[in-house]
Structure 1
Amino acid sequence: MPPWSNFHFWSPPEDPERPVLPYASALTVSITEHDPPRPFGLPSVYPLTEPPYDISDEHLKTLTQTRLIVTCPPIEATRDTDGAVAKKPPASATLKIDRPITVKDGRGPQLVVCTITPQDKHSKPFQAVAKIFDPLYYSFQNENAPHRPVATTLKADSDYSIEAAAYAHLQKTGQTGAFAPEYYGSWTFTLLICHRGTQHERQVRLVLVEYIDGVCMRDLCYPESMSPPLGFSEEHRLDVLANILDGAARMDHSGMSQRDLVPRNIMLKLEPEAEDSWQEGRPRVVQRAVLIDYNISVVYHLSPEEWKYHEATTKLPVNPMDLFWNMSLDDFGHWVPQDWQCNGRAQQEWLMDRFGGSNALAYAPVSRELKFDDP
């Protein structure tokens, strides 16, 4: 029986003041650069930060979600002011939503394609993806324990802090623009909300990243009645997979893990010329594989002690054989050969062929004896 079976289900109270989700339309807002708080709130990765407001179930059940948002503003970063160097004023820009990617009331972060127009005279407008952490459109009801409410303001702050920390680390260590998207910073904007007859300003956080004009790998791994994925040779598919595993190894060496390496979190940018002519016999070609979605990632030096052992102690990245020898890649579905399904040895033989021999010189020595599974 589910753990909440002995509890009464709770439903959020009526909330007529709560505005309609605004991110599915052509919203335009002014955004300002923002320093996120230190990452927090992810079990076993980052400790929970004690919020400056009451998040007990008893208190939350007395609130509408609108009142929660009005009375519990986002958490600000704490800064040591002793000997601090004066910072230049934060940048500002205009964000105009072009189209939604994933926008839904209750889902948590909202994803949109947008045009960013910087307010300085030297920068040109550019297209980006905005990941918007608006607590008013997180689910107030706990999906895993329906008898409990969710402190959506704290949850949105936690998601924002973790995502921003990951991208800032990737940018600092030179990982963005290749296996990770380019990162354009963390930002905030103001929306108005009316509560009990009074208009209030509320702050909403977001991160801006590179827009990848491509396809989600998940859609090519599990197409209906399509095995293998249409238009890609097996050799090329395995080249792409090898690049993904190499990217994960190099990200680990930089000092972090995305912790969710699955096709739904990988965007594939296809070669336009091949895409135009593949139906006439030319195979499709992936130009670049990009890992997205860092909401459960961990930056090792920012995490508790138990994660410190992951930090790199070698000049070269760990060999992907070390990382993936006993890890099933069945999540990649039709992207991998059929004989890999439930066959660890076939996958291991490929790993040895791809990352062993002279190819192993690009990585640190394998740290353990690698034994093949029984056929």
Structure 2
Amino acid sequence: MSSWQSRLAPWSAPPEPDKPRLPYEPGLTLNIQRIRPPPPFDHIYLPHLTPEYRTFILQNRVVDVDRLKSTTLVDYCLSTVPLPIEPLGETAVLKVDGVMAVGDGRNAQIVTCDIDLPGTDQHRMVAKIYDPLYYSFVSEESPNIPEDVVGLADGDLAAEAAAFECLNAPLGGKVIPRYYGSWTFNLTLRNQKRAVHLILMERIDGIILRTLNPDNYSDEDKLRVVAKVMECDALMEYYGVTHTDLYPRNIICSTDDLSSSKLAVRVIDFNSSVVHSLRGLVPRYTTKSLPESPINLFWKNAPDGLREWVPDYLREDEKWRDWLKSRWSNSPSFETAVPE
């Protein structure tokens, strides 16, 4: 059967009698070990991987539909060769004390936790857990096709960790949550240990922008949020990361009072981000003293994910560009440049 015929052939997720109940709930205690995460391996990175790692990815993370349709989720998770990871020797005990976004089939699990890490006085953190057993085995794009859950979970870890490793020193605790490293732990299934990976982040008090209704705010307040997100994007670009997913679900506001002079925003969720240096590109901060102006970055249009927060009167190109120039033309924080 050809590849396209396999994709069209009827399929539904098989029963999973051996799949345990989702364990990520308050009271769970995990013994975790710090790791050096592997580089991201999406196709845009393949030419820049070491020959050994590239061979591993092509042999173990490029899976055809026929294989996925002939197995169960449990069997696939247990039979796949684990990613090569480097343990760094540090261990800790993580205790889950709350849930933020947890559910079977929702992909990464996000919980709050209590943990004692050497070198930091922070104990209340957020853990983002990439457990392929609780990713959806059914493709979002086509329910007739199984999802490569192991490749997806490993890819999420590798991409997100790479972005945090790049941005944490200059922007952690300011533009993004502070990052406390990548970790692994073991869970037992069918008397077999399987490794599950996670990252630890700062726990931020705030409001997800998605939960706010732009119709409840003035044009000035909406633009204040939009401008702050654009400045965050400019800073991330400066230090070598393109987020690619600047939507309200990935933006945390310090308050729902958008007129407050203390309003701050943080950007989260880097699993689809692009790290420039890992693609053979030179990060801007190595050659320029200032980030590129939001005027340049958003000259053609506002961030796609924030269009509902842009007032109607700025939907015309000329008025949008006038607003950009009025906001940043004389800003000392960004390189002064106005596109033609």
* TM-score, normalising length: structure 1: 0.78
- Paired residue secondary structure (1:170): helix
Structure 1 residue 214: deviation in Å?
0.7
Match of 1:183 in 2: 179
1:236 Cα offset (Å):
4.7
Contact 1:35 1:186 in 2 (8 A): yes
Do the aligned partners of residues 156 and 58 (structure 1) sit closer, same or farther apart at CA in structure 2, a change above 3 Å counting?
same
Quote the residue 2:143 is aligned against. 146
Contact 2:183 2:199 in 1 (8 A): yes
Once residues 249 and 316 of structure 2 are traced to their aligned partners in structure 1, the CA distance between those partners, rounded to angstroms, is 23
Q: Deviations over 1:74-130 (max 9, x none)?
A: 30147xxxxxxxx9x522111111221111211211111111133x5x755611111
Aligned counterpart for 1:302 among listed residues 265, 273, 278: 278
- SS where residue 36 of structure 2 aligns? coil
- Residue equivalent to 2:51: none
CA distance, structure 1, for counterparts of residue 308 and residue 152 of structure 2 = 35
Return the letter of the residue paired with 2:68: L
The code of the aligned residue for 2:288 comes to T
- 1:32-86, Cα deviation, whole Å (9 max, x unpaired): 1011111112x546678324378332222222111111111430147xxxxxxxx
Q: Does the C-alpha gap of structure 1 residues 64 and 128 become closer, same or farther in structure 2, counting only changes over 3 Å? A: same
Partner of 1:261: 246
Instruction: Structure 1 unaligned segments of length 5 or more: list them.
Output: 79-86, 370-375
Aligned to 1:37: 38
- Residue correspondences, number: 328
With over 3 angstroms needed to count, the CA separation of the structure-2 counterparts of 1:183 and 1:337, relative to structure 1, is same
Of 325, 329, 332 in structure 2, the residue corresponding to residue 352 of structure 1 is 325
Matched residue type, 2:188: L
Partner of 1:328: 302
Opposite residue 40 of structure 2, the aligned amino acid is: P
Contact 1:270 1:285 in 2 (8 A): no
Alignment partner of 1:337 is 2:332 = no
Distance 1:97 1:6, change over 3 A: closer
SS in 2 for 1:270: coil
Q: In 2 relative to 1, CA 51–127 (structure 1 residues): closer, same or farther, beyond 3 Å?
A: farther
CA drift of 1:205 comes to: 0.3
Q: Which stretch has the larger CA shift, 178-187 or 256-265? A: 256-265
Structure 1 CA distance for aligned equivalents of residues 116 and 106 of structure 2: 28
Do the aligned partners of residues 54 and 123 (structure 1) sit closer, same or farther apart at CA in structure 2, a change above 3 Å counting?
closer
State the match for 2:92 in structure 1: 93
CA distance in 2, matches of 1:105, 1:244: 31
**Match in the other structure for 1:167:** 164
Q: Aligned residue for 2:199? A: 207
Name the one with the larger helix percent: 2
Letter in 2 for 1:267: I
TM-score w.r.t. the length of structure 2 is 0.86
Any idea what the Cα deviations from partners look like across 1:317-373, whole Å, max 9, x if unmatched? 111000011123574366443423x333332221111101x32x432242631xxxx
Whole-Å separation in 2 of the counterparts to 1:53 and 1:158:
9
Deviation at 1:201, TM superposition (A): 1.0
Answer with 1 or 2: which has the greater Rg: 1
Matches within 5 A, 1:1-375: 7-41=8-42, 43-44=43-44, 49-52=57-60, 55-77=63-85, 90-118=89-117, 124=121, 126-172=123-169, 174-194=170-190, 199-222=191-214, 227-229=215-217, 234-270=219-255, 284=260, 286-303=262-279, 308=281, 311=284, 313-329=287-303, 331-332=305-306, 335-340=309-314, 342-356=315-329, 358-359=330-331, 361-366=332-337, 368-369=339-340
2:6 and 2:64 map into 1 onto residues whose CA distance is 20
Contact 2:245 2:305 in 1 (8 A): no
SS at match of 2:116: strand
Q: Calculate the aligned-residue CA RMSD, in Å.
A: 2.8
Determine the C-alpha separation between the residues in 2 that align with 1:188 and 1:101: 20
- Please say if residues 102 and 111 of structure 1, whose CA atoms lie closer than 8 Å, have aligned partners that are also in contact: yes
Deviation larger for 54-63 or 152-161:
54-63
Task: Tell me how far 1:179 sits from its aligned partner.
Answer: 0.7
Runs of at least 5 residues in structure 2 that lack an aligned partner in the other structure: 48-53
- Shift in alpha-carbon separation, 1:73–1:25, aligned structure 2, 3 A: farther
